Amino acid sequence: MTPPPRDDLLSGQGGWRTGTPPEWMRLPPAGYGQRVGLFGGSFNPPHSGHALVSRTAMRRLKLDRIWWLVTPGNPLKNISELAPLETRVHLAAACADDPRVTVTAWEAWLGTAYSAQTVVALRQRRPDLKFVWVMGADNLATFHRWQNWRSIIDTVPVAIVDRPGAELAALSARAACTYARFRVPERDAADLPGGPTPAWTFLHTPRDPASSTELRRSGAWKI
């Protein structure tokens, strides 16, 4: 059995809990050497745009699985409108509706506050897996504000999936410019899992206008 991540690698953010987590907080299963996408977010609420990003990454990166990592709370966002974590996990699972997708709140059980810490913990716990960080293009515009954002792209390949109105801002963002020479052509996206880092690609796809922010603003989503 692979040992849990060391607390020093988690920068003191909670550490590793003992005991058995509830099913919706467990680390998802994956076969040895599988290609796994990591799709993190608040999913408040989950919507068809999330599902499209997931399907696009699955197909274009030739992934075996995608793990939707539902965060307890985004440090860069207002948490006052945040629905309960377990509610978001179950709604996200219904939204994904794909046997290759597993939705989990493992970060809450692990005690990590930031994605960079989560990546370190996952690489320690499952070093055999070929991880790719998956995100919508709207998130790339502010990626440089994430704590230790460089360590994410230096540790695992990153796949950016197009979102409505986000391409221009994403491709001119600080992260995209800083790592411009490490951009992998879209046609070679399937080479990312298990490939060298840093590396990232931008995947064009039909766009879904669904937005968590707009769903909350319109009143279509209430806690």
Q: Return the CATH number at 125.
A: 3.40.50.620
Our measurement of the distance from residue 104's CA atom to the centroid of its chain's CA atoms, rounded to an integer in Å, reads: 11
Name which residue leads in pLDDT, 74 or 105.
105
Q: What share of the chain is helix, strand, coil (3-state, %, to 5)?
A: 40, 15, 45
Decide if 99 is inside a domain. Answer: yes
pLDDT of residue 24: 94
Provide the residue range defining the domain that includes 53.
34-218
pLDDT digits (tens, 9 = 90+) for 7-61: 333 333 344 566 788 999 999 999 999 999 999 999 988 999 899 999 999 999 9
Decide if 204 is inside a domain. Answer: yes
Decide if 18 is inside a domain. Answer: no
Decide if 28 is inside a domain. Answer: no
Decide if 171 is inside a domain. Answer: yes
* Residues 6 or more apart in contact with residue 153 via CB below 8 angstroms: 133, 175, 179, 182, 197, 198, 199, 200
Decide if 9 is inside a domain. Answer: no
Domain count for the chain: 1
Decide if 13 is inside a domain. Answer: no
